[in-house]
Structure formats: structure tokens, C-alpha cells
Amino acid sequence: MHKTILILISLFIPALFVLTGSASVEPAPTLQPTEDASIDSCEMLYEKLHLDSVVSRRAFRQAVEGYKKIEQRRKDILTLIDFSKPSTEQRLFVIDMKAKQVLFATVVSHGKNSGGNYATSFSNEEGSLKSSLGFYLTGETYKGRNGYSLILDGLEKGINDRARQRAIVMHGAAYSNPSVIRANGRLGRSFGCPAVPQALSRPIIDAIKGGSVLYIYAPIPEYLAQSSILTPRPHA
């Protein structure tokens, strides 16, 4: 008798779960944002800003990736200098990441020992007279021998962290005016600073000063391999 009752119970309980829906059901897994989604977002911004054929896609993607990782930034402004382009073309772009618009697009000089029309060689060493790649935070302004200037703090050890020590700053310069291109076939060169046309130096500096991100790009594999921001090292 007891055996019969146990059999009936074992048959009845599963049926009850089916009828009442009281059986436990595993919740559907929460979908996490994928890397592809992040890339798509970056691509959409690139298209929205009409940067196709104006800025290297790779440069833009790296700039946005680093911008998002730099927690010390205090402004929604990203400045990209694309040294894959010659000095005769616009290659400095100031982007308002919140409003999603380009505030400035202009020519910019590189260091005299970095190359002629193209910047191809870079250094973090004092006295090299070369530009340095990588990510920076903008600092305070001052008035020096090049007029109104902006201090840049390099964020990447061994790549650009001696920027302040080397007096690598943004400033205006006569040799960075577009008229120099017409006369000499290329822009003049600096001692390593990203020098901009004199007419634009103050408005650009005022827009980006005080903790915004600046990224200097060139298609140099060695930089990407060493970058602590784009290629973070695992903790020991």
C-alpha cells in the first residue's frame, strides 16, 4: 500500500510543477556590451564628425579608446594630432566629445628632428628636438618667449613622461602659419612642441586647457607595443 502511494506521489509532483509553473527557472543571462559595440560607437562618431578621409581611422579609434580610459581628465574635450598626415594638411583636431562636434581643425608643427614634411622619428629625451607620441593631459597656461602657452603632461612612462621637463608645450608660432607652406612647401618645425598658427593659438589653448586629453598619433608599431594606456600590462 505504502509503495503504491509513493509511486502516485512521484508521478503527481512533476505534473503539479508543470501546471502551476512553480518549478524554479534559471534567469536569462544579462548581455554585456561587447567590444564590437564599442567599435561601432566609435565608428558612428567618426562618421558623424565627417572625418572620413580627413583623419586616420586608426588614429581616431586609438584616441577615443585612450580618452575613455583616462580617469584623470576633467573636460569632455579630446585633441587629436594625426602625424600620419603631412605638415601641409590639417592634422590637429579639437573635438567636443559631449556635443559631438569638431571645434578646431588646423595645421600643426612637429619637432625639427622628427622629420621634414612628415614626422617619422620620435623621442622622450631632453635635447632631442623631436616630438613625442602618446597621451597627455593639458595643464596650466603661462606667457613665455613664445607668447601664450599651454603646459602638457605626458601620461606614458618612457614615451612622453618628460614633456614638462623638456618644456614641451602648445604655443603659437609664425613658422606654423599656413603662409609658410606656400613659401617653403611645408610647415616650419619646432623644438618638439605642437606649435599652431598664431591666430588660433589662444582660442585653441583656452578650449583645451585644464585637464583635457591630447593624443599624438603616428603609425609606429613600437609605440603601440609600449603604450601603458592602449596596451596595459598585467599587474605583477
CB atoms within 10 A of CB 144: 11
- The tens digit of pLDDT for each residue in 152-209 reads 999 999 999 999 999 999 999 999 999 999 999 999 999 999 999 999 999 999 999 9
Strands 213-217 and 134-144: what pairing? antiparallel
Confidence band for 234, pLDDT divided at 50, 70 and 90: low
pTM, full prediction? 0.83
Asked if the structure places residue 126 within a domain, the reply is yes
10 assigned to some structural domain: no
Task: Report the CATH number at residue 176.
Answer: 2.40.440.10
Overall domain count for the chain: 1
Quick check: is 30 in a domain?
A: no
What is the percent of the chain where pLDDT is above 70? Answer: 82
Instruction: Provide the phi-psi class of 71: left if phi over 0, else alpha when psi is between -120 and 50, else beta.
Output: alpha
- Could you say which DSSP state residue 77 is in? E
User: How confident is residue 134, by pLDDT bands cut at 50, 70 and 90?
Assistant: very high
Give residue 60's domain range.
35-226
pLDDT confidence band for 232 (50 / 70 / 90): confident
Tell me, rounded to whole angstroms, the distance of Cα 61 from its chain centroid.
Answer: 7
Residue 127 resides in a domain:
yes
